[in-house]
Structure formats: C-alpha cells, structure tokens
Amino acid sequence: MPSGAPAEPSAGPAPMAAAVAAAAVLGGGLLLVAWRWLRPAARPGAGSGASMRGKTVIITGANSGLGRAVAAELLRMKARVIMGCRDRARAERAASEIRAELGEREAAEGGGELVVRQLDLASLSSVRDFCRQVLQEEPRLDVLINNAGIFQCPYMKTEDGFEMQFGVNHLGHFLLTNLLLGLLKNSAPSRIVVVSSKLYKYGEINFEDLNSEISYNKSFCYSRSKLANILFARELARRLEGTGVTVNSLHPGIVRTNLGRHVNIPLLAKPLFNLVSWAFFKTPLEGAQTSIYLASSPEVEGVSGKYFGDCKEEELLPKAMDDLVARKLWDISEVMVGLLK
C-alpha cells in the first residue's frame, strides 16, 4: 500500500455478527422445512375405514378448522352431517367447498348429506331454537360432537350475561347436550364427543367466581372452560350408564386453526411464528383424527367416560377426575342455563 493511502476498512465484529445471525436464521428455517417434510404424517383415525351410512351427526363449529375437517371426513364416510354454526353464510360457503372437494364420483355414490343449521352457543335462546328444529326434523341422532370453542378472548359476555369462554365452551354445549339427550337415547347405541384441550391442566373450577366478575385472566379462563368440558363429560358418562349412549372427551393437540384469532403476536415475530406453526403444529385434518375416531370407530364401541389424544386413551390429572366437583359443576350449570329454577 503506498505511503499515505487510506487504510481499507477491516471486517469488523458488527458485519460478522449479522452474517452469523443471518446464517443461523436461514439454517433454522431449513431445519424446520426439513422437519416438516420428513416427519411422519399423522395416521388416519382407526375409524376412517368405517361406514357411517344411515347415521346422523351434529358437529358444532363445523365451518372452519377442526370442525370443518371432521365434517368433511364423516361426509366421506356417508354420514348425514348437520353443521351447527353461528355464521350461516360462512357455513354455507364451507359446505359448498366440502361438497366440491368430495368430488362428483363420491357424491354420485350417495349416502352422505351435509346440512347447515344456525347455532350460536353464546345465546341460550339460539341453542334452544336449534334443538327444537332438530327434534322436529330429525328421526335420529347417532353422534353429537361438541367441537366449537372460543380461545383467550378479551373479557366479554354472552347474550345471557356469562363470561364468553365459560359460556360458549361449557354452558352452551351443556344446554345443547341436555336438550338432545332424549333423541340420543332413542337412537342408541349413540355417542357424544367433547373436544377439550391439554390446557385444562392450568385451569381451576372456582365456584366463587365462575363468571369471572371478581377477576379475569383470558388464559386461565380458557383452561377452566376446558377443565369444565372434561368434568362435564365424566359426570354425563356416569349419568348415562346403561342407556347405550357413550361420552368421551379428547384433546386434538396444537392445531393450525383460527381459534387463536384473539392472541396478539408482535408484527416482527409473525413470520417466525408462522414458520414454526407450519413445521410443528398439526393441520386441521391431523388434529381432527381423534374426533373422527371417537365418532366412528368400532374400537371404542361401549367405551365411555374416558379421555383421548392421538386416538389413544390418556391419563388425566386428579382434578379432572374429581367426581364431587363434577357433580357440583353439573348442578350449578343446570341452574345457570335454566334447566332448573
């Protein structure tokens, strides 16, 4: 270098650190892509080969996510599927899409049917109207799948003044199931499938503040509603012993659906979150397998009061098997929804 010439800038630590970070991000992204493509696909539910011809199934929240996937698969198995949805227009669009996906060949074979009915689980009057129509029009009901839910929403109340997550996830389904029990019994052997969540583990049943009027934490309240689902299924199974109606609950795993629409993810973190969810979360069809299994598989004929994940029975924490709490919750729920004065 000639004397007096300016020195060339040396590669400092900042550019080097940026290069390392970029390489790490790229490498991590490639690993996630490899993981997603190389991981084994979730096996179809063991009931996927069964025929549901001649059977009627009600699925709540069937216009998107898990419910839509369950509806499509049970329709493919020739069931008469009633989609109970809050937004009728969205449900009609989903039904049209499902029929189109099924294809002309399977549709020509006949046997299955897709019916849309309006059902808002945040309104007890809507639940009663839905059940009234079902009881008037349907001669039988073979499977009820309590699938719809709301996840970690800001504090708000249902039409009847209940905290939204507890009101929709538990109380709406509690009333729906009770009003349809007669038809389910008359159609026995029949099944009730309750979609819960592993997040029940973080919930507690606080009988002093079921409506979250003293304090509200959206995560805790979701977990409490999912614990209530399991306790409800357990108590209902006990009450239905000997009737030919079985009741089981399940967790679908972590699934890529719009259930988390109320969860705020920082804008800069969204690309990474989307990549991670694509790599590690289940698709709706994968998440739907346990619901399909419990609704249709001969393997669980007569099985009741159990909790399933990935089409297998799983153990529950003691608080989800507390029969005294389950009975007290049942008694209070009866009063809250107006079954008892």
Q: Which of 200, 222, 293, 307 is catalytic?
A: 222
| Strand bridging mode 56-60 / 143-146 | parallel
Report the alpha-carbon distance of residue 341 to residue 329 in Å, rounded: 15
Angle between helices 173-186 and 218-239 (to 10 degrees): 20
Residue 222 bears catalytic tag: yes
Map tokens 């805790």 to a residue: 220
Map tokens 């945040």 to a residue: 122
207, 159 Cβ separation under 8 angstroms? no
79 exposed, middle or buried (CB, 10 Å; 0-12, 13-18, 19+)? buried
Report the alpha-carbon distance of residue 6 to residue 88 in Å, rounded: 73
196, 230 Cβ separation under 8 angstroms? yes
Q: Coil, strand or helix: which one is 50? A: coil
Candidates 244, 238, 246; CA nearest to 192 is 246
Estimate to the nearest angstrom the gap between the alpha carbon of 316 and the chain centroid: 18
Structure tokens at 249: 């609950």
Report the alpha-carbon distance of residue 295 to residue 140 in Å, rounded: 15
Report the residue count for the chain. 341
Q: Coil, strand or helix: which one is 337? A: coil
| CA angle, 331 then 332 then 335, to 5° | 95
175, 129 Cβ separation under 8 angstroms? no
97, 70 Cβ separation under 8 angstroms? no
End-to-end CA distance of the chain: 96
| Catalytic residue numbers, as ranges | 222
